[in-house]
Chains A and B, each alone.
Chain A
Amino acid sequence: DIVMTQSPDSLAVSLGERATINCKSSQSVLYSSDNKNYLAWYQQKPGQTPKLLFYWASTRESGVPDRFSGSGSGTDFTLTISSLQAEDVAVYYCQQYYSTPRTFGQGTKVEIK
């Protein structure tokens, strides 16, 4: 199974400041035949179901604000919130869909400092 490890487990950022979440996979999720990274990012706000933010590591889902960006390739990925807003308080998860089981990272809790 591919193990997904996020860092940090939590972070507190001031409003308007940058938040950076890292996700590392135990093996590459880059599929050579299509050159795509099979990596998604989800946001889960308190009491809500998860919401897809990015797929193929960096393709933004419709409606996601452009202050969110996804990057990385192979085994190392990053979710960046360029200017944290109050509504961004949530737990963020990466998930690989390169192979089954489709494993999630343990989650990163983002709070306001």
Chain B
Amino acid sequence: EVQLVESGGGLVQPGGSLKLSCAASGFTFSDSAIHWVRQASGKGLEWVGRIKSKAKNYATAYIASVKGRFTISRDDSKNTAFLQMNSLKTEDTAVYYCTTSPEDYWGQGTLVTVSS
């Protein structure tokens, strides 16, 4: 059974940092690209960024609004991906999902709240 489990969400003050994890099982993690998608309460889906596989040099890409603040990484030996979020802003408040490609798997999401 395929599973993606996000963790690490919580309440953080503006300007703070948080590191999300995405633990995978049930498929060949190392062959997959990992994407992070977020959804603010009552709003639509927003693709945040992705990291490709080792075969594609772990290439990363981000949306403009998080570039320089967020970093995606992965540890294939632990079937886990990470989203390091620094200099957080109130507008980063959302549920963060990790997803995969080319197979389309989604985790249940973890809530990040940025508030003073």
Contacts and interface: CB of A to CB of B under 8 A. Distances in A.
Interface residues of B, number: 19
A103 interface: yes
B45 A50 contact: yes
B47 A101 contact: yes
Interface of A: 1, 40, 42, 44, 49-50, 52, 55, 61, 91, 93, 95, 97, 100-107
A42 B97 CA distance: 14
A101 B44 contact: no
Given A103-B47, A107-B45, A49 B107 contact: yes
Contacts of A103: 47
B62 A101 contact: yes
B10 to A, nearest CB: 20
B97 A49 contact: yes
B101 A97 contact: yes
B106 A49 contact: yes
Say what secondary structure dominates the interface of chain B: strand
Nearest to A105: B44
A40 B101 CA distance: 12
Interface string B31-63: 000010100000011110110000000000111
B3 interface: no
A97 B49 CA distance: 12
Nearest to A103: B47
Given A102-B50, A106-B44, A107-B45, 20 more contacts: A1-B64, A44-B45, A49-B107, A49-B109, A50-B45, A52-B104, A55-B104, A93-B44, A93-B45, A95-B47, A101-B47, A101-B49, A101-B61, A101-B63, A101-B64, A102-B35, A103-B47, A104-B44, A104-B45, A104-B46
Contacts of B97: 49-50
Interface in B57-112: 61-64, 97, 101, 104, 106-109
